[in-house]
Structure 1
Amino acid sequence: MEWKSLTTSEQIEQIKQDSQQHPVVIYKHSTRCGISSMVLSRLERAWNSHEIPLVDAYFLDLIRYRDISQLVATTFNVQHESPQVLVINQGTSVYDASHTMVSYPKIKEQVVDLANS
């Protein structure tokens, strides 16, 4: 899988714009958390770009970019968690999951459903 690093507030605006055309995934990762590392590893092993239609996937290091992490929570009206995944569509978060509830099958289901609607 090919992550785009989420490091600026301008990217959040771009994500909102891009999500008008196709779903966007944001993964919020804590480099200090063993659960976050386990979830990231599991997600990367399972990710299959052929199963999911056009989707941008952003990686947010929330320790390094704490202010961006808070802006994501505020912009998309989700409580900050770590690890956390959000699926953005039409400028809003249509799905979020945290901790061990983050799973590739659920993300895939959300993205495919959006692509087929």
Structure 2
Amino acid sequence: MGLFNKLFGASSSSSAGSDNLNQENETPWIDLNTLEQLDALVEKSKTKPQFIFKHSTRCGVSRMVISQFKKDYQFSKNEADLYYLDLLAYRAISNKIAEQFQVMHQSPQLVVVKNGVVVAHESHSGINNMELEKFV
């Protein structure tokens, strides 16, 4: 269990959980923990795809999906930005994503933003079936 706690943030701190994700697997996570970041993400989507991974640190399905996602994720920081949203710590941001982009909240969920709009989203095991290279 110690490895899962390290990887998936047993603490309530989202940055600790995602920092461990970065160290263990070198997945280029950017913690999404302010509404201002969401506004900046929309602007950055005009020049580079933005991926938002919404993760529940208490959900077994979410842990399985993020583990597989990290193994499969293959884009560099130059190709796309990958945001990690800890749903338990930052539910207000998830609610804002649902409202702003008209995408019903799911967990886990991956949202792809290009040119200021959502061009794809998927939840649960469907995340790992997405062809993300189409958006890069």
Output the TM-score relative to the length of structure 1: 0.88
Correspondence 1:48-67 to 2 at 5 A: 48-49=74-75, 54-67=79-92
The whole-number CA distance in structure 2 between the counterparts of 1:87 and 1:22 is 11
Letter in 2 for 1:7: N
1:21 paired to 2:36: no
Query: Secondary structure of 1:7's partner?
Result: coil
Detail structure 1 runs of 4+ shifted over 3 Å in the superposition.
none
Correspondence 1:5-44 to 2 at 5 A: 5-44=31-70
Letter in 2 for 1:19: S
Q: Structure 1 or 2: larger helix share?
A: 2
Q: Which runs of 5+ in 1 are unaligned?
A: 113-117
Aligned to 2:126: 101
Residue 54 of structure 1 and its aligned partner are, at CA, apart by: 1.2
Query: Secondary structure of 1:102's partner?
Result: helix
Percent identity of equivalent pairs: 38
The whole-number CA distance in structure 1 between the counterparts of 2:81 and 2:75 is 10
Aligned to 2:109: 84
The whole-number CA distance in structure 1 between the counterparts of 2:61 and 2:78 is 28
Aligned residue pairs total 110
Superposed CA RMSD in Å reads 1.6
The whole-number CA distance in structure 1 between the counterparts of 2:87 and 2:43 is 22
Output the TM-score relative to the length of structure 2: 0.76
Higher RCO (C-alpha 8 Å, min separation 6): 1
Q: Which runs of 5+ in 2 are unaligned?
A: 1-26
The whole-number CA distance in structure 1 between the counterparts of 2:131 and 2:36 is 24
Shift in alpha-carbon separation, 1:43–1:53, aligned structure 2, 3 A: same
